[in-house]
Amino acid sequence: MAPTKESLESLKHAPGVEGMVHHILHRWSPRAYADKDVPVEDLKKGFEAARWAASSFNEQPWRFLVGRRGDATYQKIFDSLVPFNQSWAKSAPVLILSVARKHFAHNGEVNLHSWHDTGAAMANFGVQITALGLHSHSMAGFDHAKAQAAFHIPDDFETVAVTAVGYLGDPESLPEGPRKSEVAPRQRKDLKEIVFSEWDKPAF
């Protein structure tokens, strides 16, 4: 039987831990989106959260191109996606291309943390829009050169990821492959596997 939106949400939410921010626990990456526009004010709140992320030397290396279904920006971002991502992302009403500046403005040196900081900004974005009842799903599967050329992005910037945004849709609308993962529980490594006091020795 197809899950309801409520049962799918509760399957996907991470188990509650006392004192944790529940929008972190409730963020997950759907592939099916409802045919419903995202209010501009909510998108702006997502980008507010993104711009308040920490960054090395406060460089704020991130830039974002935001496309809404029907506009040229959306189409150019969509055209850069690999076919698998196109197969599901076509239901998302918003697509964002995140871009990182390669060099520091203050001294021209290579910013080795530009992708780290751009990812941190998008992580903030994801938690904020979860708080607004929306969902997002980032993608590495796109043609960087195609996206760079489509927007005439200058050489000192590089495309990092594409992120779909929208309201949760019906898993039944998805092709078979993505449909299976849409209704499967989420998996995570245990803290013991990732937090060490010495290499490979769990800290807790």
Ligand X SMILES: Cc1cc2nc3c(=O)[nH]c(=O)nc-3n(C[C@H](O)[C@H](O)[C@H](O)COP(=O)(O)O)c2cc1C
Please, which of residues 29-68 interact with ligand X by CB under 6 A?
29
Round to whole Å and give the CA distance between 110 and 186. Answer: 36
- Does the footprint of ligand X cover residue 184 (CB under 6 A)? no
- Does the footprint of ligand X cover residue 165 (CB under 6 A)? no
Q: Give the SS3 label for residue 65.
A: strand
159 in Cβ contact with 144 (< 8 Å): yes
- Does the footprint of ligand X cover residue 139 (CB under 6 A)? yes
- Does the footprint of ligand X cover residue 3 (CB under 6 A)? no
- Does the footprint of ligand X cover residue 138 (CB under 6 A)? yes
Round to whole Å and give the CA distance between 67 and 74. Answer: 4
Binds ligand X by CB under 6 A, chosen from 96, 161, 165, 174: 161
Round to whole Å and give the CA distance between 3 and 62. Answer: 37
Binds ligand X by CB under 6 A, chosen from 8, 26, 28, 98: 28
Round to whole Å and give the CA distance between 189 and 204. Answer: 14
Tokens 């406060």 locate to 58
CB-nearer residue toward ligand X: 13 or 68: 13
Which residues form the interface with ligand X (CB under 6 A)? 28-29, 85, 137-141, 161, 186
